[in-house]
Amino acid sequence: MAEAGNISDDIRVECNETSSVLRSLRVEVDVARVGRAFDSAYGELRKSANIKGFRPGKVPRSVLERVYGPSLPDQVERVLVSETLAAAIETAEVKPVSEPDIDAERPEVGSPFCYTARVEVKPEIELPDLGQVEGRKPIVLVGDDEVEAEVERLRQDASKWVEEAEGTVAAEGHSLTLDFVGRIDGKVFQGGSADGADLELGTGAMIPGFEDQLVGVKAGESRQVEVSFPDDYGPDELNGRLAQFDCEVVAVRRKELPELDDEFAKDLGQDGSLDELRTRLRADLEKTRDANAVRALDRSLMESLVAICDFEVPPGVVQGQLQSQMQSMHQQFQGQVPEDVLHEQLRRMREDGRPMAEQRVREQLLVDAIAVDQGMEASSEEVDARLAEMAKAQGMDAEPMRAMAEQQGWLTAIEQEVRERKVYAYLAEHAKVVDVEPEPTDDASTLGD
């Protein structure tokens, strides 16, 4: 279906719905305005043209046309599109979600100028009965053994390494201070030597077999260790090679653990007793797992909603999302991995990452559709509360956090996050949510002290 309208007396626009996510705008600029655009372009050109035999600003138009005529229409095209596109989009009542694609005829003096703008728009999504949406929320459980494991982790972190008496034989669990030199075929190789290196026996931190051959050494003793690098170790010059390491044992140390008592809790900054420390650790674990459970529920709700909502997605938006994912990967790993490895990963993402990008776009379109349908917006109070939450997590006051957000342009993203939280809470309230057994987790080893 085509809809036509005049932007002004000299511009006409016709809008056609090519698909649910694409509008084709045919824009026509009348002869007089095209003529004025050429007059203006030649006028500006005359001011700067440097042509032999003519003073600056005095070059006749006929000469300018002969010299610059072949290239000037391209400039006029850019000017006319720039001057009219926004008004054409507004007249057609179209809201672009990506940069319009322009296909223009070559402008000529004495003829109207026409171009087509292909504009991607959001699809009109018909939301289903949200009672059809299904969600799964992991049950939050914290066992006594998990609390004790966290207490033991804190105890290990608070341990001290104490140098053993002279003549002590090193065993698994001891820490050695070593000087060593590694050789392959009798030659020292790069990265194979160190002075004052600490090695805890039994951790598997070194090449397989290295630590085993140091069990039984004493401080001051020398020992040669012979090991083979794994075939997939890394550098080609080391993969699968046999190496000898001449080791000098500087010191043998044992780990000394603090007693599990109220004093231990106080040393960790806990005001109360050891039992109160356990209570706090249980609460921390429950808080972490509850947040993980909410994220798992959100994922399952969105997966279910996407599965029952069929709509077209704007390809340009998907491409933009894919580019954003690639940019994030590049920023995250630049300098962390070799450039050739990073470029290979980016190439694979470019080829294989489109389904993930499309999924993300579908999810965002559904979030937006629910927010609009329910009139959900992020109030200034809600944004302030989120900023305060972020500030607390960073050990900052709320005002500096807000100033940072304004300076670095985070506020829009925070508003979007607040709105998304509302949408997911609304989904959880109206969907079929069932409790499920939690999957294995390692969060007990990642809590802060």
Domains of the chain: 2-120 (3.30.70.1050), 160-256 (3.10.50.40), 274-445 (1.10.3120.10)
pLDDT of 403 strictly over 80: yes
pLDDT of 167 strictly over 60: yes
Which among 114, 34, 107 has a CA at the least distance from the CA of 73? 107
Sign of CA dihedral 308, 309, 315, 321: negative
What is the number of alpha carbons within 13 Å of residue 418 lying toward its C-beta?
21
Write down the pLDDT at residue 122: 94
Write down the pLDDT at residue 333: 87
Write down the pLDDT at residue 58: 81
Q: Are strands 160-163 and 11-19 parallel, antiparallel or unpaired?
A: unpaired
Write down the pLDDT at residue 304: 96
Distance, in Å, from the CA atom of 236 to the CA atom of 27, rounded to the nearest integer, reads: 61
What average pLDDT does the segment 142-171 reach? 94
Please write the tens of the pLDDT for every residue from 88-138: 999 999 999 999 999 999 999 999 999 999 999 999 999 999 999 999 999
> Where residue 445 falls among pLDDT bands split at 50, 70, 90?
very low
Q: Which of 38-52, 80-94, 122-136, 228-242 has the lowest mean pLDDT?
A: 38-52
Angle between helices 411-430 and 398-408 (to 10 degrees): 110
> Where residue 71 falls among pLDDT bands split at 50, 70, 90?
confident
Which among 176, 193, 175 has a CA at the least distance from the CA of 184? 193
Write down the pLDDT at residue 124: 93
Q: Which of 52-61, 205-214, 339-348, 366-375 has the lowest mean pLDDT?
A: 52-61
What average pLDDT does the segment 414-422 reach? 95
Q: Which uninterrupted H or E stretch holds 189?
A: strand 187-200
The SS3 of residue 278 is helix
The SS3 of residue 296 is helix
Rounded percentage of the chain residues whose pLDDT exceeds 90: 73
3-state helix, strand, coil in the chain (%, to 5): 45, 20, 30
Write down the pLDDT at residue 29: 95
Sign of CA dihedral 140, 143, 145, 150: positive
Write down the pLDDT at residue 5: 58
Q: How far is CA 293 from CA 22, 138, 268, 373, in A?
A: 39, 5, 29, 27
The amino acid that residue 271 corresponds to is D
> Where residue 449 falls among pLDDT bands split at 50, 70, 90?
very low
Rounded percentage of the chain residues whose pLDDT exceeds 70: 96
Distance, in Å, from the CA atom of 321 to the CA atom of 317, rounded to the nearest integer, reads: 6
What average pLDDT does the segment 388-392 reach? 90
> What's the chain's average pLDDT?
91
Distance, in Å, from the CA atom of 340 to the CA atom of 240, rounded to the nearest integer, reads: 23
**CB of 130 within 8 A of CB of 424?**
no
Highest-pLDDT range among 61-65, 122-126, 331-335: 122-126
- Backbone phi, psi, residue 340, to 5°: -65, -35
Write down the pLDDT at residue 444: 42
307-328 CB burial, b ≥16 within 10 A, e <16:
eebebebbebbbebbbeebbee
Residue 335 C-alpha from the chain's centroid: 16
